[in-house]
Amino acid sequence: MSSQNRAAGHSVPITEAQVYEAIADVLDPELDEPLVKLGFIDRVEIEEQDVTVIFKLPTFWCAPNFAYLMASDLRSRLRALPGVRSAHVVLLDHCAEQEVTEGVNNDQPFAEAFAGEAPLDEDLEELRLTFLRKGFLMRQDTLLRRLLRAGLDEEAILALRRRDLVVDEGADVALVHAPERVVYLERAGRNAAVYLRKAERLGLLQAEDAPLIVDDKGLAVPAGRLRDYLRRSRAVRLNIIFNTSMCTGLFRTRYANAGVDEAYREGEVV
C-alpha cells in the first residue's frame, strides 16, 4: 500500500500506536522483558513518514553492547513498519549515547561503531543467544517449581511430554496432563507460554512427544538428578531477578515518574 501512496504523492500517516505495536517485542536481553513494558521508551516522534524512537536505560553505565542490541532491534522493527520512509533511534543519558545512536542509524556493526574499543570478534548474536538460553532456563525453573508444589514427583515430571502441557496465555492458566491426573496451574500460563516460545527459538521441544523438561542444549534431565538440576536453574533465575530488580529499581529512582511496570518476577514462583 505504501508504495502506491508514495507514487500518488500522498501517504497515510503513521500513528504512535502503530509504532508502539511494532516495537512491542523488543527485549532488554539481560532482563528478558520488553522495553515498552519496562518503560525504557522515552517517546516516539513522527513527522509524516519519518519515525524516531527515543529510549533510555537504568544507568549511565549500562553495558554498551546491550544498548546497541536494543537500539538495532528497535530500528529494524521501525523499518519493517509499512509506510516508514526513515527510521531513527536515539539513546539518551548514557556514557556511549553518541556511539550507539550514530552507529545504529548508520547501519554500522557494533565492532565498527566502537572501533578501537571493542574486539572485532564481538558477536551480538552470540550474546543474544546466551540470554535466550538463560530466559528459557528461568521460565523452566518457574514451571518446575509450580509442578513440584502441585504435588508431582520427580518421576512424573520427567515423564512429561511436550503435548502434556496446554497453555491459555490470556487466562494465565497452564494445564498439565500428568500420568495419573491433570494439574491445573493458575497464574502460570504466561510463564509457560514464554517457556514454549523460547524453546521454539532455541529449536527445542519441536516434537509433540519430546520430553517437556530438557536443558538449554536439549538434553533430558537424568533420572534422580532433578534436585541438582533445580539448584542450577534456580541460580540462573536468581541472576535474572537480580538484574531485573536492580535495573527496574534504578530506572525508577533515576527517572522518578517513569511509567515503569512492576517487572519483578519473584511473586510468580516459590
Partner 1 sequence: MYRTPDGKEVFVIDGHCHFWDASPANQRNKYGRGWIDCFYDYHRNLSPAEYVWPLDKYEKYSAETMAYDFFVKGYVDMAILQPTYLKEFYINGFNTTEQDSVIKNMFQDRFILNGAFDPREGEQGLDYLRSLKDRYDIKGVKLYTAEWRGSSKGWKLDDPETYRFYEECLKLGITNIHVHKGPTIFPLTRDAFDVSDVDDAATEFPDLNFIIEHVGLPRLDDFCWIATQEKNVYGGLPVALPFIHSRPRYFAEIMANLLYWIGPDRILFGSDYALWEPKWLIEKFWAFQFPEDIKAEFGVDLTEETKRKILGLNAARLYGIDPNQKLSALPAEELRQKADERYLATAKEAENMAPTSVDMKA
Alpha carbons 66 and 76: distance in angstroms, whole number: 16
Would you say 52 or 108 has its CB closer to partner 1? Answer: 108
Residues contacting partner 1: total by CB under 8 A: 43
Considering beta carbons, is residue 164 or 216 the nearer one to partner 1?
A: 216
Closest residue by Cα to residue 188 from 146, 238, 148: 146
Q: Is 65 in the site for partner 1 (CB under 8 A)?
A: yes
| Among the listed residues 15, 50, 60, 102, the single contact to partner 1 using CB under 8 A | 60
Among 40, 55, 114, 229, binds partner 1 (CB under 8 A): 114
Alpha helices in 124-168 (DSSP H): 124-149, 154-159
Is position 36 an interface residue for partner 1 (rule: CB under 8 A)?
A: no
- Which lies closer to partner 1 via its Cβ, residue 116 or residue 203? 116
- Distance, in Å, from the CA atom of 31 to the CA atom of 45, rounded to the nearest integer, reads 26
The region of 76-84, 116-124, 162-170, 179-187 touching partner 1 under the rule CB under 8 A is 116-124
What distance in Å separates the CA atoms of residue 52 and residue 75, rounded to the nearest whole number? 9
Q: Does 231 bind partner 1 (CB under 8 A)?
A: yes
Out of 14, 28, 64, 185, the residue judged to bind partner 1 by CB under 8 A: 64
Binding partner 1 by CB under 8 A: which of 36, 54, 92, 118?
118
Least Å from the CB of residue 117 to partner 1: 5
| Amino acid residing at 166 | V
Q: How far is the CB of 223 from partner 1 (least distance, A)?
A: 20
Q: Say if CB 166 and CB 140 are below 8 A apart.
A: no
In the three-class reduction of DSSP (H, G, I as helix; E, B as strand; rest coil), residue 256 is classed as coil
Choose among 79, 72, 76, 74: nearest CA to 100. 72
